[in-house]
């Protein structure tokens, strides 16, 4: 299936800003993480004229700081949340089907260790139940591996404590790219989405919310946006928005922090993803991604600045210790950590439950002013959450909307018949553009980020008289300015291309040209360029906590 021309409608930030000021909407969504963009796409495609404002860049909150798995949540079986596993488990295949370039099948190895969380029989039954609840195809269902089989699958496992392993199916994604993909799709269907616009106050008409006052964080301009209904999809910030609405009572959020670290794959040459027990019985993931492996996560109470959770040294040391215990030959040390990120789980507080026992279920609150808040949930279940919210809106608005379309609505760039055709497209890109894309990992990087739109990026890059890495980066930048509303340097390096977390050392080589090109394209003054460079330095410092060169 060929991709039509890249559509340019409604993706220019300045144009979208002027529309937001002059138009009136059926629905205004606050928050541009996975929950908000999912709702915007569902609502717009079912006939509601929709707008969305995001105070930072799209996906800057929890939706770029997750474990990046589209998973059913094996551990929810332990909490007997069969309904959740059933719904979310089935959802994995749907999200893979609509975005096969972004959501990849990935087999998980669950080592069975002496004194660990899972015995052989319980694991075998648990994984079979997990597959059954999620409707996993027969050929993909779990297998139980002997000690030898487990070592064959992953030779780095600790042989002293290993007894065997479970082997089962999940999916892997890039959370920020998934958010950007859904946002682009919503824009292409006519929704108005904008980043760096903060909701600061509510407008009320006869006691009901009828719009918001907003602040453009880049120009400093304030203006109003009018809408019949408003949804608060602010993840860890939902209670702040409820407070502005004067409706913060009853159930509240309980934020917990999760940290991940990234190391070079040469330091931990894993063959495959492992979901393993730590000695304290918490479970961690070790996930290979391109030239890197990332590991996590922690789970601790959080009370600090919501916008800036940090990977503390103690968090990093905890993960390293767990990793060295499961993969002892790696001898990972703090200096091997290339990058780290911390995210906040926006959970709904439940009295008397431990952090890992608190449910990941989503919940909707409706305030007296009519503000609809959606809290909790997971990346994986975004589409179902969106459908639920839009069904509720239809009821409240007494509107007969189209049925939900998103189960079969391709995310832009994902126009492939199946996963095999994604792989064939990678081969095709590699053979057609070998002068600038020298190896398969580089071709995969592009196709997994941009899907069919890789063609536009590679085509442009091949005609540039630049060194290949720089040509690709400048071409990606051009694409992301035209199609993905990249507004700041850090948007490009962090959430559009993932280089800050997966390839921090590659930034130095291309940084000054990329920033200069961006300044020209976006008409930045020299002061603005300086400000952007400082913001980028701060982000680099935040992830590269130990000053790795």
Binds ligand FAD by CB under 6 A, chosen from 235, 288, 370, 498: 235
170 membership: H or E segment, kind and range: strand 162-172
Residues 321-360 that bind ligand FAD (CB under 6 A): 343-346
Q: Is 176 in the site for ligand FAD (CB under 6 A)?
A: no
Contact 213, 224 (CB under 8 A): yes
164 membership: H or E segment, kind and range: strand 162-172
Beta bridge partners of 260: 296, 341
CA distance 274 to 285: 6
CA distance 447 to 102: 9
Of 122 and 307, nearer to ligand FAD (C-beta) is: 307
Token pair, residue 325, equals 């215990």
CA distance 494 to 228: 35
Of 294 and 425, nearer to ligand FAD (C-beta) is: 294
Q: Which residue has the tokens 């959370």?
A: 175
CB of 418 to ligand FAD, least distance (A): 23
Contact 356, 75 (CB under 8 A): yes
Q: What is the largest CA-CA distance in the chain?
A: 70
* Nearest to 388, CA basis, from 31, 38, 28, 26: 38
Binds ligand FAD by CB under 6 A, chosen from 10, 63, 412, 449: 63
CA distance 397 to 407: 23
Q: 3-state SS of 49-98?
A: CEEEECCCCCCCCHHHCCCCEECCCCHHHHCCCHHHHHHHHHHHHHHHHH
- Contacting range for ligand FAD; rule: CB under 6 A; set: 271-279, 349-357, 373-381, 451-459: 373-381
* Nearest to 31, CA basis, from 226, 242, 203: 242
Residues 200-229 that bind ligand FAD (CB under 6 A): none
Of 346 and 451, nearer to ligand FAD (C-beta) is: 346
Q: Is 181 in the site for ligand FAD (CB under 6 A)?
A: no
- Contacting range for ligand FAD; rule: CB under 6 A; set: 30-38, 97-105, 413-421, 470-478: 30-38
Residues 273-332 that bind ligand FAD (CB under 6 A): 297
CA distance 160 to 486: 49
CB of 529 to ligand FAD, least distance (A): 24
- Contacting range for ligand FAD; rule: CB under 6 A; set: 15-23, 50-58, 458-466, 475-483: 50-58
Q: Is 34 in the site for ligand FAD (CB under 6 A)?
A: yes
- Contacting range for ligand FAD; rule: CB under 6 A; set: 27-35, 152-160, 245-253, 514-522: 27-35
Of 85 and 426, nearer to ligand FAD (C-beta) is: 85
CA distance 211 to 28: 8
CA distance 13 to 227: 20
Of 69 and 436, nearer to ligand FAD (C-beta) is: 69
Q: Is 378 in the site for ligand FAD (CB under 6 A)?
A: yes
Binds ligand FAD by CB under 6 A, chosen from 17, 29, 30, 322: 30
Q: Is 116 in the site for ligand FAD (CB under 6 A)?
A: no
* Nearest to 63, CA basis, from 354, 258, 283, 267: 258
- Contacting range for ligand FAD; rule: CB under 6 A; set: 34-42, 271-279, 348-356, 469-477: 34-42
Q: Is 198 in the site for ligand FAD (CB under 6 A)?
A: yes
Contact 425, 439 (CB under 8 A): no
Q: Is 109 in the site for ligand FAD (CB under 6 A)?
A: no
Of 241 and 458, nearer to ligand FAD (C-beta) is: 241
Number of residues that bind ligand FAD (CB under 6 A): 39
Binds ligand FAD by CB under 6 A, chosen from 113, 180, 199, 311: 199
Q: Is 164 in the site for ligand FAD (CB under 6 A)?
A: no
CB of 71 to ligand FAD, least distance (A): 6
**What is the contact surface with ligand FAD in residues (CB under 6 A)?**
30-36, 53-56, 60-63, 65-69, 71, 198-199, 233-237, 241, 258, 297, 343-346, 377-380
């Amino acid at each position: 299936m060929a991709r039509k021309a890249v559509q340019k409608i409604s993706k220019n930030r300045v144009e979208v800003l002027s529309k937001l000021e002059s138009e009136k909407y059926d629905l205004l969504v606050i928050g541009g993480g996975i929950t908000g963009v999912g709702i915007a796409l569902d609502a717009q495609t079912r006939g509601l004229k929709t707008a969305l404002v995001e105070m930072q860049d799209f996906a800057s909150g929890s939706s770029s700081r997750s474990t990046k798995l589209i998973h059913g949540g094996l551990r929810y079986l332990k909490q007997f949340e069969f309904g959740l596993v059933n719904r979310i488990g089935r959802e994995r295949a749907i999200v893979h089907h609509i975005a096969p370039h972004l959501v990849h099948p990935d087999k998980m190895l669950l080592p069975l260790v002496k004194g660990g969380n899972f015995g052989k029989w319980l694991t075998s039954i648990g994984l079979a139940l997990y597959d059954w609840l999620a409707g996993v195809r027969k050929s993909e269902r779990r297998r139980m591996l002997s000690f030898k089989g487990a070592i064959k699958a992953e030779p780095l496992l600790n042989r002293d404590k290993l007894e065997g392993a479970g082997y089962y199916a999940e999916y892997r994604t890039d959370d920020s790219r998934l958010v950007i993909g859904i946002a682009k799709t919503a824009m292409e269907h006519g929704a108005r989405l904008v980043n760096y616009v903060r909701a600061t106050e509510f407008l009320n008409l006869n006691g009901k919310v009828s719009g918001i006052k907003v602040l453009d964080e880049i120009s400093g301009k304030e203006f109003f946006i009018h809408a019949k209904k408003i949804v608060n999809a602010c993840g860890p910030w939902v209670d702040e928005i409820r407070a502005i609405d004067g409706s913060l009572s009853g159930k509240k959020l309980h934020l917990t922090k999760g940290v991940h670290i990234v190391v070079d794959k040469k330091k931990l040459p894993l063959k495959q993803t492992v979901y393993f027990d730590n000695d304290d019985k918490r479970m961690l993931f070790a996930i290979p991604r391109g030239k890197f492996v990332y590991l996590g996560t922690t789970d601790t109470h959080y009370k600090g600045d919501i916008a800036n959770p940090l990977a503390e040294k103690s968090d990093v040391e905890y993960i390293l210790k767990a990793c060295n215990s499961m993969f002892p030959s790696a001898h990972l040390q703090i200096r091997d950590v290339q990058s780290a990120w911390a995210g906040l789980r926006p959970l709904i507080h439940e009295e008397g439950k431990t952090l890992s026992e608190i449910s990941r279920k989503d919940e909707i609150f409706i305030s007296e002013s009519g503000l609809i808040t959606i809290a909790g949930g997971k990346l994986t279940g975004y589409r179902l959450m969106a459908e639920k919210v839009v069904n509720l809106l239809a009821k409240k608005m007494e509107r007969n909307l189209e049925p939900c379309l998103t189960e079969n609505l391709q995310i832009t760039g994902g126009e492939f018949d199946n996963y095999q055709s994604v792989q064939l497209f990678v081969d095709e890109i590699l053979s057609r553009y070998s002068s600038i894309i020298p190896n398969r990992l580089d071709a995969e990087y592009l196709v997994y980020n941009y899907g069919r739109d890789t063609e536009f990026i590679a085509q442009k890059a091949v005609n540039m008289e630049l060194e290949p890495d720089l040509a690709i980066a400048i071409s990606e930048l051009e694409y992301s300015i035209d199609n993905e509303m990249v507004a700041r340097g850090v948007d490009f390096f962090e959430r559009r291309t993932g280089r800050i977390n997966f390839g921090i050392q590659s930034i130095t080589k291309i940084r000054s040209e990329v920033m200069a090109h961006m300044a020209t394209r976006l008409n930045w003054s020299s002061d603005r360029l300086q400000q952007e460079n400082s913001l980028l330095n701060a982000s680099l410092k935040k992830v590269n906590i130990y000053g790795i060169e």
